[in-house]
Chain A
Amino acid sequence: MTYACDFAGERHRFDSLAAVMACASPARSGDELAGLAAHSAAQRVAARAVLADLPLRHFLNVALVPYESDEVTRLIIDSHDAAAFAPLASMTVGDLRDWLLLPAIDCTALAAVARGLTPEMVAAVSKLMRNQDLIVVAQKVRVVTAFRNTIGLAEHLSTRLQPNHPADDPRGIAAAVLDGLIHGVGDAVIGINPASDSVPGALRLLTMLDDLRQRYAIPTQTCVLTHVTNTLEIIARGGPVDLVFQSVAGSEAANRGFGIDLALLREAHAAALDLGRGSVGRNVMYFETGQGAALSANAHHAVDQQTMEARAYAVARAFDPLLVNTVVGFIGPEYLYDGKQIIRAALEDHFCGKLLGLPMGCDVCYTNHAEADQDDMDVLMTVLTVAGCTFLICVPGNDDVMLSYQSLSYHDALTLRAMTGVRPAPEFAEWLAAMDLIAPDGSIRALGAAALVRRLDTSGLDASGLVV
């Protein structure tokens, strides 16, 4: 089948649905690297015109990645909810864009259609939307998840405290955790990327985090972001696993590159649920994704990177995760070249994840070989917070000294709260209040570590282990 339109006096033809989708995407280096991007700016707009007129139903009939050979496609098609899709069944992609933007379409209406939408449909409609459209619609979606606290409520923004250390030194990690807690960070998760990857090493870090959490009765969850097979081994050894982490991508072949498949994720999901460690909820999975992951594994099936990214969300939503985040600027400038591309991609990922029903967060970040800096991140963190982003990752002083890239800082979380009035998860906010860390105006007090440790001690807890 070919797709064509007459646009401003010129005839445009596209050989496949994948070509329409790729050409309709805003310009980005990864699609250019893959040889999939529009050849001209005019062709890009023509592709959008073609896309706008396609019936949503078309995406149920034409698979971008073959059903027979890809379990992610099978998951998408087999779990499609026809009843939820019914109100949208006669719409084109353009109609869906208009419908989403209607003020009457609220969080209830959006939640009702989430299981009727496929990743390809939401990727397609995002390509017709300006940044402000992506923000306005995402802001209307409400996805609430829970484990030891409640994440995703309106007017709230959670944060992942990421205390990485280049040698996994437990004292260095504890110091970064303490600094984060003083800034009111860490309600989404206290999550370490380990520098060296071994089961004993991860178990040691996890035990240290769990001791710390229990000693100070912090209503949050902890995680060492190691491979799912390592986490299964840690569970088998009786380790204190709150959340199972895994990077996921949008095709079976790309997931194989990560050493996973859906069956392995099902096994891990069941194992974590069996532990029953959550106090207020049972969302036990944490996933990371990122545009370019499938292409870098040469497992993109000639599909543009934004559509492949949205397909990863189908994998994530099959496991009722507590947290999902795109690592948007981490994968490098060959996929997202500069601040403009990173900002656009982050808004797309957040929008698509939310529309599909995920608790979508973001690592607002860049590497040193990308054309981006902290000014771009200031813009991105602000627009994502306005868009109702579920959580953001924070590291000390914007500098991840293990992964060698720049993310948001603890201070950035303070700034976002002051700018927009967003608050951390209610259970975590109560703990902060009990620690006298909340000022009368709701902001986080500037408090020295010694004062916090005194307060921890007077609350009947022994902080001596923290400040060895």
Chain B
Amino acid sequence: MWARLRATTPARIALGRVGHTLPLDEVLRFQLDHARARDAVHAAFDTAALAAALAPLATIALASAAPDRATYLRRPDLGRRLAADSAAALARAVVDDPAIGGRDAVIVVGDGLSATGVQAGGAALVRALVAECAGLTLAPVVLARGARVALGDEIGAALRARVVVMVIGERPGLSVADSLGIYLTYAPRIGCPDSARNCISNIHARGGLTPGAAAATLGRLLRESLRRALSGVDLKDEGGALPSHHHRLEPPDA
């Protein structure tokens, strides 16, 4: 009977007992899943490898003001701003090639809380997004280390992009450590409220959204955002329900 019950949920039910506690194999299985999630949180984002995977798409590699992973986890405010040298480099790039400014959209890939996620699934998702953006003008893809969602605001503003599309690694769970999320923000500027964003989450290969399905949703939202010159709570996706937040105390952004 437990086999039938277990098939109804990914939850760890019917684990058995040794005395009052768990059998050792379940303890080790849990520890391995936690270890994978921890490794994903602490993995370094190899922007050069992702740039190579995205070639021939043009890319720009930048870093947030969070100098290391430990600081990044304690100081989300630093992950929302570019490091001084990255901000200067981005400004220089716009001066050197004014054509990259003022595009319809810029796609930013940030490590967020799972560099493992963007390293594994970032290239496929970006290619699907680019295909979905046919007919729109795109800035070079920005690869950002130490990124929170709002880092896209400063990048989008520097590039004078109409919309910033932030692809970011989501907080790893025990069952999925490489899930990605996409955040769309119209008229990005430093200090954009979260209510001005639209989110597509749970993009991963273990029962989550496929890159193609996520890109199709993003394409609809992006065109509607450009047409109506807004994003956030007033922009709804008619093609399917967006995940709604639950009413626990809000977890931190990715």
Contact = CB atoms under 8 A, between A and B. Distances in A.
A409 B22 contact: yes
Nearest to B35: A373
Interface string B157-193: 0000000000000011111110000000000000000
Contact of B244 (A196, A225, A330): A196
B76 interface: yes
B14 interface: yes
Interface string B214-254: 00000000000000000000000000010111111111100
A interface residue count range (under 10 / 10 to 19 / 20 to 34 / 35 or more): 35 or more
A33 interface: yes
Given A166-B10, A369-B113, A467-B5, A415 B21 contact: yes
Contacts of A398: 12, 30
Contacts of A289: 249
B interface residue count range (under 10 / 10 to 19 / 20 to 34 / 35 or more): 35 or more
Given A411-B22, A449-B1, A179 B74 contact: no
A293 interface: yes
A334 B252 contact: yes
Interface string A160-181: 0001111001011111101100
Interface in A389-413: 395-399, 401-406, 409, 411
Nearest to B37: A368
Interface centre among B5, B38, B76, B249 (most CB of A within 10 A): B249
Contacts of B19: 418
A401 B249 contact: no
Given A163-B11, A247-B249, A296-B250, A175 B6 contact: yes
Given A178-B5, A397-B13, A247 B30 contact: no
A448 interface: yes
Contacts of B113: 369
Given A368-B34, A374-B30, A450 B1 contact: yes
B92 interface: no
25 contacts: A171-B8, A171-B9, A174-B8, A175-B8, A179-B5, A195-B243, A196-B244, A198-B244, A225-B247, A293-B250, A330-B251, A368-B177, A369-B41, A397-B13, A399-B11, A399-B30, A399-B33, A401-B11, A401-B12, A404-B176, A409-B12, A411-B15, A415-B21, A418-B20, A453-B1
